[in-house]
Amino acid sequence: MAKVAKVVLRHKSKYVDREYSYLATPETKLGAQVLVPFGKGNRPYEAVVTEMIEQEDAEDLKKIVRVVSDFTISPKKLELAKWIRDRYMSSFSEAINLFFSKAQEIQKLHETYLVTELSSEELEQKIASENKNSRNKLMLLQLLLEGEVNLSALQRELGKSLLQSARALEKENALIIEERRVHRVPMQTYQLEQKNITLNHNQQLVAKQIGKNIAAAKQTLLYGITGSGKTEVYIELIKKCLENKKQAIVLVPEISLTPQTIARFKNIFGDRIGIFHSKISDGERKDQNDLILSGKIDLVIGARSALFAPFENLGLIIIDECHDDAYKSEQSPKYDAIEVAEQLCKMYGAGLVIGSATPTIEQYYQAVYGDYDLQTLSQREGGILPTMEIVDTFEEMKMGNLQLLSKKAIQAIQKEVDEEKQVIIFLNKRGFATTLTCDFCNHTAMCPSCDISLTYHQVGNKLLCHYCGHQEEYHKKCKNCAVGHYQHIGYGTQRIEQEISSLVQNANIVRLDKDTTQGKDSHEKLLQRFKNQESNILIGTQMISKGLDFEKVSLVVVLNADQGLRFPDYRSKEKTLSQILQVSGRAGRGSLGGKVIVQTNDSGNKIFEYAIKQDYSGFFWEEIKERKAFLYPPFSTLLRIQCAAEQSELAAETAVRIKDAVEYYLTKRERNITAIGPAPNLIQRIENKYRWQMFYKIENDEDVVLTKKIIQYILTEKRAVVVPQGVFVSVDINPKNMI
């Protein structure tokens, strides 16, 4: 009997997406990264061991070359990778890669330290006897009088090597050179004042019940209005989890929330916290993993990738702002972090808590009728719910106000600034203007690679595509006719900043959007500036709409609030209400009280009635009727197939072929599931690829499984017949982005 390893290649091609058998080396372990010879030419490929078996007649198998890393994934994580593959129709390799990263390939970091066994008197004698020209040796001896010396750091600071002098002193028995493992820790510049947390009566009751749910591995939706103290409940639950020697994960949707969340939790849990998000370096990620594996970190905070931290004693997952679309991956595997968390908790017997002031319709439905226990925080803690006023900008325009901000908004902003309070202005766009249109030939500046207009950015004087990243220098004269000039249509955060600067006296503005937060730690620095009241106005896009807590903010202005209602998306009303309630919740969180001004061209829309009343529940009961009538989630699973190609006709033809093939196999199984489409995407061309899509609304789980199997069969076994070369096909389960 030979020891055989089944492996999955870490390769993108679906043609090799299966397990291959190799003779194992003595070092081969389940979940290990290995190098294997593959194909006729025995080209070396990285792979992951997914199963270890004993097998007869294995002498003809190729042999694993070597183990390439000491990092392995556990049997449970391999099981989760298989579940992700099956649920989201990804390749096994793509699912496994979620648990690995480039960080694992980075070398451990060591630094050189100098220590001494000499007493202070003996050191001083050594200094006195040393040659006065030996300046480096004298400096090291002087520093040793104060304690151990980090030689690596000292050399970086001085820009020169001191190792030769240190070795000379070591030979003279004056010091000892030590190599120590050091860990790269993500920098935290954002600070919060440490406060004693005492739960109020309602929070205590909720925390107690959720604690029972966690003990029973039951899922909880914590529905709490903005400022009701959900974070304080989370902290209490985590304390209990860590006291029970279990590990916990806290997810936040936006990197902009991470600094404040980390600071809040850091005050309580200190260095037990690990940090996972897109802005940390691979070296920092590597060391965070190592600290987890060594048991020094038992609480991780971060974006959705934090789910794949190497915890094996998981007791609790908390997902804050659970309504946010950022929890759905747009890259394959197109996983939903909340669904993955549910599966993780089932596997580890852990508790799951998802929390929001505006849960999705599906999440609230699950709490009312499904598998989640609903717990509610209905009172704001330490603050007052803000009042809300709807301003009709269409009426303002008819009265001659052509400015971006209404007169009421400008007056209110000036009043708060004069009273040394703070203001948040929210616009779900960035840049200076939405589009540029020629005043002579009506030409609009478009991206050469996408069917989307370019946005003018005043900083850098450039035109930028927010989809593919294409940029070009801005020239006011139209490049199409060379006669007319471009006029700004629409507006973005930069233009709002410019208008406020000219209309509001003593305005000190911080703008927070993707343009101002490109650098490492830039989020933290900008938010800290606003927190320290070095600025009195914060302008931002959706990254400021939730989670942030500033006591001095007494006014929030929401611009172009009805924009989302115009999207052809069955969730447009839900998203619009959620965004308004979330950003309005940034006001009145201290003792000052607060006000929200919502600017819209569609003031008669019923969604604004629910917003003024803060009536999420009322909206839910109306919306759920519509969802049921049209069979949208939660009453169906939405499955999208998208075809992309450099020729629109090729993408369309492929979509029709796939649709016909799916219907053929469904009919053979006597299933009647009709596709909606295919039709071109709302934005048809992105990065020179034309996109066509179709949807299936599927009512029961059995039909979902069958349809997925049929699609998978068509896209693998029948791919050469159905899908031409040059066409990229993707499948998404319950997509969040419909355009």
Q: Does residue 105 have a pLDDT over 60?
A: no
37 cis-preceded (ω within 30 degrees of 0): no
Reply yes or no on whether the pLDDT at 415 is more than 90.
yes
Predicted confidence (pLDDT) at residue 450 exceeds the cutoff of 50: yes
pLDDT in tens, 111-120: 889 999 899 8
Q: Would the CA dihedral through 190, 409, 433, 601 be positive or negative? A: positive
- Rounded to whole angstroms, the Cα distance separating 469 from 435 reads 16
Higher pLDDT, 258 or 617: 617
- Is 190:350 a contact under the CB 8 Å cutoff? no
pLDDT digits (tens, 9 = 90+) for 398-412: 777 778 889 999 999
- Which residue would you say has higher pLDDT here, 620 or 457? 620
- Long-range CB pairs of 410-415 (<8 Å, 24+ gap) are 410/503, 410/504, 412/555, 412/557, 412/595, 412/597, 413/500, 413/504, 413/507, 413/537, 413/555, 413/557, 414/504, 414/505
**Is 193 a residue whose pLDDT tops 70?**
no
Checking if the pLDDT of 335 tops 60, the result is yes
pLDDT exceeds 60 at position 162? yes
As a whole number, mean pLDDT of residues 281-290 equals: 74
Q: Which tokens hold the place of 394?
A: 């269409």
Mean pLDDT of 624-637: 94
Average pLDDT rounded to a whole number, residues 640-650: 96
Please name every residue paired with 716 in a beta bridge, in sequence order, or none if there are none: none
What's the rounded mean pLDDT across residues 602-631? 92
d(CA 577, CA 600) in angstroms, rounded, equals 13
What string of DSSP letters covers 676-688? Answer: EEEEEEEEEEETT
Q: What is the pLDDT of residue 434?
A: 60
Residue 23: the pLDDT is 93
User: Rounded distance, CA 118 to CA 121, Å?
Assistant: 8
Residue with the bigger pLDDT between 103 and 655: it is 655
Half-sphere exposure of 699 (CA within 13 A, CB side): 9
Mean local confidence (pLDDT), 602-611: 90
pLDDT digits (tens, 9 = 90+) for 7-29: 999 887 777 888 999 999 999 99
Cis bond before residue 724 (omega within 30° of 0):
no
The CA–CA distances, whole Å, from 276 to 238, 301, 324, 546 equal 18, 6, 18, 19
Whether the Cβ atoms of residue 607 and residue 573 lie closer than 8 Å to each other: yes
Distance CA(539)–CA(535), nearest Å, equals 11
At which residue do the structure tokens 């001896």 appear? 141
Average pLDDT over residues 294-301: 90
Read off the pLDDT of each residue in 593-619 and give the average, rounded to a whole number: 91
> Residue 163's Cα: distance from chain center in Å?
43
Give the pLDDT of residue 251. Answer: 95
Residue 186, pLDDT score: 63
pLDDT over 60 (residue 232): yes
What confidence tier does 431 reach under pLDDT thresholds 50, 70, 90?
very low
For 455-481, the pLDDT digits (tens) are 777 767 888 877 777 888 888 888 888
Confidence of residue 430 (pLDDT cuts 50, 70, 90): very low
> What's the Rg (C-alpha) of the chain?
29
Instruction: Tell me the residue type at 105.
Output: E
The Cα–Cα gap between 232 and 449 comes to: 47
Q: In angstroms, what CA-CA distances link 252 with 140, 220, 221, 317, 366?
A: 46, 17, 15, 11, 21
Model pLDDT, residue 437: 76
Residue in 306, 351, 332, 352 with CA at minimum distance from that of residue 99: 306
* Residue 389 confidence (pLDDT): 93
Q: Which two tokens stand for residue 532?
A: 């320290």
Could you tell me the CA-to-CA distances from 409 to 528, 559, 683, 708 in Å, in that order? Answer: 25, 10, 33, 51
Residue 171 has pLDDT above 60, yes or no: yes
Report how far apart, in Å, the C-alpha atoms of 395 and of each of 207, 600, 727 are: 47, 10, 49
Q: Who has greater pLDDT, 674 or 209?
A: 209
Residues facing residue 728 across a β-bridge:
644
Grade residue 432 by pLDDT with cuts at 50, 70 and 90: very low
Mean pLDDT of 300-321: 93
- Residue 597's H or E segment, with its range, is strand 595-600
Q: What is the mean pLDDT of residues 497-524?
A: 82
Task: Report helix, strand or coil for 344.
Answer: helix
pLDDT above 80 for 435? no
Of residues 539, 553, 587, the one with CA closest to residue 388: 587
pLDDT exceeds 50 at position 433: no
Estimate the share of the chain in helix, then strand, then coil, as percent rounded to the nearest 5.
35, 25, 40
Q: What is the pLDDT of residues 649-698, one digit of tens each?
A: 999 999 999 999 999 999 999 998 989 989 988 888 889 999 999 999 99
- Tell me the three state secondary structure of residue 526: helix
pLDDT value, residue 520: 63
Structure token digits, residue 570: 């069955």
CB 246 within 8 A of CB 313: yes
Beta-strand pair 19-23/32-38: unpaired
Which three-class secondary structure state does DSSP give residue 195?
coil
For the stretch 191-199, contacts whose Cβ atoms lie closer than 8 Å and that sit 24 or more positions apart, written own/partner, are: 191/263, 191/528, 191/531, 192/260, 192/263, 192/264, 192/267, 192/531, 194/267, 195/267, 197/232, 197/235, 197/236, 197/268, 199/229, 199/232, 199/233, 199/236
CB atoms within 10 A of CB 654: 23
Alpha helices in 299-423 (DSSP H): 337-348, 361-369, 393-398, 407-418
- How many CA atoms are closer than 13 Å to the CA of 7, on its beta-carbon side? 30
DSSP type of residue 662? H
What is the C-alpha separation between 471 and 447, in angstroms, rounded? Answer: 8
Instruction: For the chain, give the mean pLDDT.
Output: 87
Q: What pLDDT, on the 0 to 100 scale, is given for residue 188?
A: 58
Q: Give yes or no for residue 100 having a pLDDT over 70.
A: yes
The kind and range of the H/E element at 239 are helix 230-243
Question: At what angle are helices 135-144 and 163-171 packed, to 10 degrees?
Answer: 70
Q: What is the pLDDT of residue 565?
A: 80
Q: Who contacts 692 (Cβ-Cβ below 8 Å, separation ≥6)?
A: 642, 643, 644, 648, 651, 652, 654, 655, 677, 678, 679, 680, 681, 684
pLDDT in the model for residue 733: 96
Query: Across residues 53-64, what is the average pLDDT?
Result: 88
CA-to-CA distance for 470 and 472, rounded, in angstroms? Answer: 7
Q: Which of 114, 165, 113, 120 is nearest to 145 (CA)?
A: 120
* Residues 617-643: b if buried by 16+ CB within 10 A, e if exposed: eebbeebbeebeeeebbbebbbbbbbb
Go through the chain and tell me how many residues it has: 739
Nearest to 116 by CA among 105, 125, 129, 107: 125
**Percent of the chain at pLDDT exceeding 90:** 52
